[in-house]
Amino acid sequence: MRSFNFATDKSAYQSLLVGKLHILAARAYPHASFEDMKIITNFIFWNFVIDDQFEDAGISKQLEILEPLRARLVEIMKKDAELTNIDTPTVRAWKDIMQKLHHHPSATSECVLRFTKNMEDYFQAVCWEALNNSQGTTLNVATFIKIRSFTVAVYPCISLILIADQITFPPEVVKHPIMKRLELATINIIAWANDIFSFDKETKAGSNLNLVTVLKQEYQISLQEAFDHAAKLHNTEVRLFIELSAHLPSFGSEIDANIDSYLLGLRFWIRANLDWSVETGRYKINQAG
């Protein structure tokens, strides 16, 4: 964070510290080695910074910066493009993260490819979200739920479980419909919890892209009813995760052991996010950040 001058003034630096993102990382990846944790924590800090940049650009209607930034980040990620003297600190830090990921001993080619695809989807989604923020658009529930699974940026985070726990999967596991739905349930649980915790802050910032807001608008219900509905959706996904975890078929003892480790990693992320959301200063509107 300091090496690439993310925080250009004391208040910006303090807002990142208030977020306690290092605590989120430590709880989400308790089995990670020190070297694993360095790259994971750097990514999580970077991701929160870039997420705020895209959101702020949408709210302030500075849409002209979004597509060039997205394209440059993808170019760095997929083509290992060389840095130039006009690249921002955000881009330079992203280059550093991708280089370290490629050279990490636990990062298989499959893991890097999966992470890259997840990040490309995320960049596309946050650009689309920023455009809607700039127009003050309130989406319908179905559209919002679909796009939120990408903007919450959990897909890339759970792909890093493979590095932290040194897990590999054959394609039949990765593509299995129950595994894919377990991952989506994890993402929905985290996204809906975040939207409940961050509602006050996002509303004050002028964003309509929150599950509570979308539910209230579409169903013409009170704010409390919208919160209750959001909590019900969250809890439904939790129950689904528990149920599906017991219904994955066996792929053999070695692969099954890796699946158990991965599902535990998903549970760690769900719990880490909940605890962190309660403790962090990120969602308190009287705090910076």
pLDDT tens digits, one per residue of 111-124: 999 999 999 999 99
Q: Which CATH architecture has domain 10-279?
A: Orthogonal Bundle (1.10)
* Average of per-residue pLDDT across 58-75: 82
Q: Is the dihedral of CA 252, 176, 29, 275 positive or negative?
A: negative
> Which helix (H) or strand (E) covers residue 139, if one does?
none
Q: Helices in 206-222 by DSSP H: which ranges?
A: 211-219
Top pLDDT among 209 and 95 is at: 95
pLDDT in the model for residue 132: 81
pLDDT band at residue 288 using 50, 70 and 90 as cut-offs: very low
Instruction: Kindly state the tokens that stand for 23.
Output: 């605590």
pLDDT band at residue 1 using 50, 70 and 90 as cut-offs: low
pLDDT band at residue 282 using 50, 70 and 90 as cut-offs: confident
pLDDT in the model for residue 60: 62
pLDDT in the model for residue 2: 62
What is the rounded CA–CA span in Å between residue 129 and residue 182?
A: 25
Q: Cα 289 to the chain's mean position, in Å?
A: 17
pLDDT in the model for residue 287: 42
201 and 283 Cβ atoms separated by less than 8 Å: yes
* Average of per-residue pLDDT across 232-249: 97
pLDDT band at residue 285 using 50, 70 and 90 as cut-offs: low
pTM for this prediction: 0.91
pLDDT in the model for residue 280: 80
Contacts 24+ apart (CB under 8 A), 249-257: 249/176, 249/178, 251/170, 251/172, 251/173, 255/169, 255/170, 255/173
* Average of per-residue pLDDT across 58-71: 79
* Average of per-residue pLDDT across 116-142: 89
Residue 55 has pLDDT above 90, yes or no: no
Instruction: Kindly state the tokens that stand for 104.
Output: 């990490």
- What percent of the chain has pLDDT above 70? 90
Top pLDDT among 12 and 27 is at: 27
pLDDT in the model for residue 17: 72
pLDDT band at residue 6 using 50, 70 and 90 as cut-offs: low
pLDDT in the model for residue 64: 81
What is the rounded CA–CA span in Å between residue 38 and residue 8?
A: 22
What is the rounded CA–CA span in Å between residue 203 and residue 209?
A: 9
Q: What is the pLDDT of residues 261-274, one digit of tens each?
A: 999 999 999 999 99
152 and 187 Cβ atoms separated by less than 8 Å: yes
Q: What is the pLDDT of residues 173-191, one digit of tens each?
A: 999 999 999 999 999 999 9
pLDDT in the model for residue 35: 92
